[in-house]
Structure 1
């Protein structure tokens, strides 16, 4: 057999081993990192949009300021450099900005699977307002580690394929790391997405201000802190069915075992079925009867046999008495 030309080198330094362990597959994945890139030509509006997205995702984002002229996400072979940067920075999300006469203020948001392009959504930015244009208290700025709310207003997010796809991508982009328990103080902002038309949405970012309400639950007020913009969907590409099926797989260790003959009801709760075989009373053995029961039966039997001779004697005496009187 011919030897393979590929050589695998094992890391010798501890730092490299730890870095490879961080990138290795896990049963419970950590938060997704975002890669932010510039195209060959960008506008001032687009530069501000990319910078503010980077500030909203401080701890889990990587931003490259150099211009990249070889990245064409929607073209065949144009995603090679994008996949290289994704593998280098270990990012599974990316935001790519470019500007041209045909597509001004163009923003491409996509997801990666195994450092390969999974899906893409291209939007145009219009009516943009930066954070600096909003006058608000600096204490309301989002803090590191806080979790945002999302509000999608409009039926188009459920009926139109373009907006349905954009909704999934935006949730992956801003929702951060998945948690099981959440402190109310850590929920300090909300992203509002309003469907204005089948291909246009209004996107804004608001801070939550908690005020006294006289009850345990505080009263919430929304304060717009930006950024604010209109997103016009231009192009989008859904993932292939084969890649989607592979990406949606769940590890066997995380799958819940199915309980047999158990049904969960919202009202009655957990309902179970018990199957019992037919009881054949006639063929039940009585050999293992306790000694006390046997003794009681024996005494009752002996008592009954002792009364029978006495009754016979009484009857004989009654029959003989009239004969003697004659």
Structure 2
């Protein structure tokens, strides 16, 4: 029997609620890991990916010997880290003679391996190698434009799969509305061939155009590199079906006695039953009645006094 541990503190319960499935999921977090051997180029690539996703990324700098995503049994440690950090995307870097500057990007579903893409990094240029006005540097956490250029992203299966993974890696949380002033960066992916993709990161400069829509200019700020596709593992159909499953939104209940008007907007009718005020019993001791009686007594008393004084005068 496996012992199931439950949260005993309020903080633990809140953490479990955050990790529970939601109808609308929040942004995905990225886990960045190092392999047994990593080159200086690969370390720079992993650190700059972490810098681009600093608000939604967790980076481990220690070497991990047991992680081998494409081998059976080699994903156990990776799934453990995914469960521990609550990350659904991971980037794993390793370097060997057979596969130099190797980068594995993958996604998890229910903290189990969903799919994998292995690419080699070539022609890497870091952010420091680009010279530009530092005022144009994109802000942390800003939403990016993501552009995929080339027919390979629609025709070649490996590039189609790579496009899905890269889109999940760089897009961040899904939003419905966005401020134009907050768009200050763009990721541009260009398919150079059936297995090579060029990535460049640019800052957006807004300039006057004489109209409401400003004119945009791209300033390359780095990093830039070539991705050479080596291996890829698409998701299983049964796992994909479960991951794509969504719940139907509950239909809204019909509002009674409510109608919408183009001018007045939402108009509601309220039913008020007959209150029958004339038949309502009044209390016997009413303050208004007492006051009227006192005023009547005073009037009668003053009238009798005047009548008595007139009689006395007539007798005299």
Range into which the TM-score falls when normalised by the shorter chain: 0.7 to 0.9
Q: Tell me, yes or no, if the aligned pair for 2:187 and 2:201 is still in contact at 8 Å.
A: yes
In structure 2, the residue matched to 1:37 is: 33
From the superposition, tell whether residues 142 and 254 of structure 1 become closer, same or farther in structure 2 (CA, over 3 Å): farther
Q: Distance in 2 between matches of 1:213 and 1:29?
A: 38
In the TM superposition, residue 254 of structure 1 has moved relative to its aligned partner by 6.8
In structure 1, the residue matched to 2:312 is: none
Which TM-score applies when normalising by structure 2? 0.78
Q: Distance in 2 between matches of 1:136 and 1:157?
A: 31
Q: Distance in 2 between matches of 1:198 and 1:255?
A: 46
Q: Distance in 1 between matches of 2:175 and 2:240?
A: 24
Q: Tell me, yes or no, if the aligned pair for 2:53 and 2:141 is still in contact at 8 Å.
A: no
In the TM superposition, residue 214 of structure 1 has moved relative to its aligned partner by 1.3
Superimposed CA distance per residue, residues 234-278 of structure 1 (whole angstroms, 9 cap, x where no aligned partner): 00000000000000001123799xxxxxxxxxxxxxxxxxxxxxx
Q: Distance in 2 between matches of 1:6 and 1:195?
A: 49
In structure 1, the residue matched to 2:173 is: 177
1:1-326 correspondence to structure 2 within 5 Å: 5-253=1-249
Q: Tell me, yes or no, if the aligned pair for 1:207 and 1:224 is still in contact at 8 Å.
A: yes
In the TM superposition, residue 11 of structure 1 has moved relative to its aligned partner by 1.7
In the TM superposition, residue 139 of structure 1 has moved relative to its aligned partner by 2.1
In the TM superposition, residue 98 of structure 1 has moved relative to its aligned partner by 0.2
Q: Distance in 2 between matches of 1:227 and 1:19?
A: 35
Q: Tell me, yes or no, if the aligned pair for 1:27 and 1:254 is still in contact at 8 Å.
A: no
- Runs of 5+ unmatched residues, structure 1: 257-326
In the TM superposition, residue 34 of structure 1 has moved relative to its aligned partner by 0.2
Q: Distance in 2 between matches of 1:153 and 1:30?
A: 28
Q: Distance in 1 between matches of 2:249 and 2:212?
A: 39
From the superposition, tell whether residues 209 and 255 of structure 1 become closer, same or farther in structure 2 (CA, over 3 Å): farther
Q: Distance in 2 between matches of 1:39 and 1:203?
A: 23
Moved over 6 A (4+): none
From the superposition, tell whether residues 255 and 172 of structure 1 become closer, same or farther in structure 2 (CA, over 3 Å): farther
Q: Distance in 2 between matches of 1:128 and 1:176?
A: 23
From the superposition, tell whether residues 196 and 27 of structure 1 become closer, same or farther in structure 2 (CA, over 3 Å): same
Determine helix, strand or coil for the equivalent of 2:91: strand
Superimposed CA distance per residue, residues 102-157 of structure 1 (whole angstroms, 9 cap, x where no aligned partner): 00000000000000000000000000000000011222222133111111111011
Determine helix, strand or coil for the equivalent of 2:4: coil
Superimposed CA distance per residue, residues 45-69 of structure 1 (whole angstroms, 9 cap, x where no aligned partner): 0000000000000110000000001
Q: Distance in 2 between matches of 1:168 and 1:22?
A: 25
Q: Distance in 1 between matches of 2:221 and 2:28?
A: 24
Q: Distance in 2 between matches of 1:255 and 1:246?
A: 23
- Runs of 5+ unmatched residues, structure 2: 253-316
Q: Tell me, yes or no, if the aligned pair for 2:28 and 2:172 is still in contact at 8 Å.
A: yes
From the superposition, tell whether residues 254 and 151 of structure 1 become closer, same or farther in structure 2 (CA, over 3 Å): farther
Q: Distance in 1 between matches of 2:4 and 2:109?
A: 23
